[in-house]
Structure 1
Amino acid sequence: MKRRMGVVVAGLVLLAVAALVSVFVVLPRFGTDTIDRSQPALLQSLRDLSQYHAAAGDFQVVLDIEHDVRFVPSALAGQRTLFVAAGTVNAYVEFGGLAEDALKVSQEAKTVELALPAAVLDKPNLVQERCYVFAQERGLVDRLASLVETQDQQPFYVAAEQKISDAARESGLVGRAEENTRKMLTGMFGALGYQVMFTGATSD
């Protein structure tokens, strides 16, 4: 009796497995629909960029700095230094602080409206190998002092950074960075099938 019951149970299990297999085989013939209700991760993509360095400029400056001692001839005291400095300045757009409403996406119209932050200039990065004293004239007292102490060149580096910063602001580097950023974002969103429109204040 027990053996017969076991055979019956085994037969029922086999029938159930066969039925499931037939369902999975037959269902694809009716076709399936896939509905994707996922939201685009565009804003997260921008935050991942954090800073987009969109342009860089190479600059060189020759400093001509003279230190005079009042009422003392330059042959006795004082010095004049020609200091050559070179460096680069990066212009970037900061995406890390974008507000939630800075990016508006319309899935129906396939458009993106972005409040693009204005580009800013980074601190000049001086190239040490290209910064040096080109020529120097010293009075007698200064020449004697140089025998026992090394001249501090830090003021020349500080002055060079300021000169290069001023030149970068007048060079149009910020405007170029913003233009390059718009081109990059237009291409990125375009690859996703979206048309991008830019709003917000820029340097233009």
Structure 2
Amino acid sequence: MSTDLLWIFIPTIAAISLTPGMCMTLAFTVGLSQGYRHTLWMMWGELAGVATVVVTCVVLLAWIQVLPKAYFTLLALIGGTYLLWVAYRLWTAPARFEQGEGRPRVTPAALLALGYTTAVMNPKGWGFMIALLPGFMSSDTAVPQQLMVFLGVILPSEFLSMSLYASGGSGLRRLLSSEKHLAALNKVAASLMVLVAILVLIKI
């Protein structure tokens, strides 16, 4: 991945990670009921699940790249269109965040499994990675090298975002309870999605 693309990839992943999706909502809810340290078990599981999704998607996309160009072109077209749809949904999404209810104490093993299955069984995560990654992959660079870059950006971003949600600090509560702040975050993420969609589509 070139330096220019990397500077687009990093803020895009950071903005999407910060938006309150399934994994972040889970981190916030478990953090409020279990405490940050106990929630780390769920976070390790979620990171393992995200790594599973990323590795699988990169291997699949690398395989598609060696097929006739029409296959990758079709995937890029579908992916770019999907990213534009995601951007539209983020831009028009209601500015609210569901905190959920407190839960009884959960064992570390259960939290680990909960985090992993939540990440792996989230269809939006798979769709997002399949749509996003083609814009940043190159057939001239070895797959393991590209995979290390992707994981090196995505996993720390996910961990930091989950830590913010799981800590349940007063500042985060104010941010999430403010429709103005949440709407602004959604619009920043949507704008970055449009930029990435354009990158994917112009590679066709």
- TM-score, normalisation: structure 2: 0.27
Structure ID, larger Rg: 1
Q: Which has the higher helix share?
A: 2
Which of the pair has the greater relative contact order for Cα pairs under 8 Å at 6+ separation? 2
More strand per residue: 1
